[in-house]
């Protein structure tokens, strides 16, 4: 049996999701240690995530268009909204705190540039 690149990526998500569920159910505090390790570096984490995102996008574009990828992102955003909604009070407090930080754009410059490029790409694809 030979798996396509999209099937391999889906399998990676399944394995990570199962591991996350097992850890959260068995020891929620242990999950904090995992997230602390992943988000512990303000420099390394975004660079590694960006490199991995570019690699994943490259493979996704073999079988999907950027518009289809954005449609899937909408699905994911809705699932994330379901997951975060029980913590709306905490999320609003965090949002308020972040928006008070005048350096927010400087701190999020990499994400903002990535989003801007992708948005322009999608609009060009749809409107051209």
pLDDT tens digits for 57-115?
999 999 999 999 999 999 999 999 999 999 999 999 999 998 888 888 888 899 999 99
Cα(35)–Cα(78) distance, rounded to whole angstroms?
Answer: 22
3-class secondary-structure state, position 62? helix
In this prediction, residue 25 has a pLDDT band, given cuts at 50, 70 and 90, of very high
Do 90 and 38 contact (CB within 8 A), yes or no?
no
How many angstroms separate the Cα of 24 from the Cα of each of 28, 29, 31, 53, 72? 4, 8, 6, 25, 26
Entry pTM: 0.85
């Amino acid at each position: 049996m030979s798996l396509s690149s999209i099937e391999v990526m889906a399998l990676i998500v399944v394995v990570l999701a199962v591991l996350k569920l097992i850890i959260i159910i068995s020891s929620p505090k242990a999950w904090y240690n995992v997230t602390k390790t992943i988000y512990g570096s303000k420099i390394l984490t975004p660079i590694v995530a960006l490199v991995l995102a570019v690699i994943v996008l490259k493979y996704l574009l073999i079988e999907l268009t950027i518009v289809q990828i954005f449609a899937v992102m909408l699905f994911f955003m809705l699932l994330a909204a379901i997951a975060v909604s029980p913590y709306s009070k905490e999320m609003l407090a965090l949002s308020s705190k972040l928006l008070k930080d005048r350096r927010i754009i400087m701190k999020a410059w990499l994400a903002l540039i990535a989003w801007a490029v992708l948005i322009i790409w999608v609009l060009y694809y749809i409107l051209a």
